[in-house]
Structure 1
Amino acid sequence: MPNREQLRGHWNEVKGRLKEHWAQLTEDDLRRAEGSADRLVGVVQQKTGATRSEIERFLDSLFNSGMRDQATETVQQYSDAAQKMAAEASQFARDQAQRLASQSSDYSARVVERARTRPGETLAIAFGLGLAAGAFLFLGRKK
């Protein structure tokens, strides 16, 4: 059976469900029982003739299904947030890859243009890099 805090936290929902289930309950009846599960059961028993166990089962099912619904909703919210974050991360990765590809393409075009406009300078740089690589390999073998 729900405790006092549960009743207070969900009082409007509890009242509505009780009135749906037992139409003869009035707002005044429920106001008398507000905040106490035992008083609530007593008021419902007096007005409807239902047994205590029947009323307690109804209240338990109300809170159990409510908690299950809340848990389902919370899980759905987290799932939606995770999907949104994954989509944003994927879009960010695509944007960065496209930016890098564009920069790489620009750099390649500049290297080709430099080699075309200054072939002597390009050959000298390539020759110097070749010498440096050879010296590095040769010195690395001696040790």
Structure 2
Amino acid sequence: MNEDRISGNWKQFKGKVKEKWGKLTDDDLDVIEGKREQLAGRIQERYGYAKDQAEKEMKDWEDSNKYKW
């Protein structure tokens, strides 16, 4: 498995993503399909973040929830 895809079941995981980043649509989550880079890009787009800010927010969220990509 590609190391930048979320391990496990994306359908279960995407609910947690939507809890954190509620501006992401179901269509966004379908396009992301567990790909970390796609998630970062959509967070940037929806929230107007710079790449570094989106990456930091994702890293903090991963660390606090023990999610592994």
Alignment TM class, shorter chain as reference: 0.5 to 0.7
- Contact preservation (8 Å) 2:4, 2:37: no
Query: Which has a greater percent of helix?
Result: 1
Mapped partners of 1:22, 1:16: distance in 2: 10
Percent of residue pairs identical: 35
Mapped partners of 2:10, 2:30: distance in 1: 10
Instruction: Report the counterpart of residue 58 of structure 2 in structure 1.
Output: 55
- Contact preservation (8 Å) 1:29, 1:43: yes
| Alignment RMSD | 2.4
Larger Rg: 1
What is the TM-score when the length of structure 2 is the normalising length? 0.65
Mapped partners of 1:60, 1:14: distance in 2: 15
Q: CA deviation at 1:8?
A: 4.5
What is the TM-score when the length of structure 1 is the normalising length? 0.36
Question: Which of structures 1 and 2 has the larger relative contact order (alpha carbons within 8 angstroms, sep 6+)?
Answer: 2
Aligned pairs (5 A) from 1:27-106: 27-50=26-49, 51=53, 52-62=55-65, 64=66
Instruction: Report the counterpart of residue 15 of structure 2 in structure 1.
Output: 16
SS state of the match for residue 54, structure 1? helix
Task: Name stretches of at least 5 consecutive residues in structure 1 with no aligned partner.
Answer: 68-143
Q: CA deviation at 1:60?
A: 3.5
Task: Name stretches of at least 5 consecutive residues in structure 2 with no aligned partner.
Answer: none
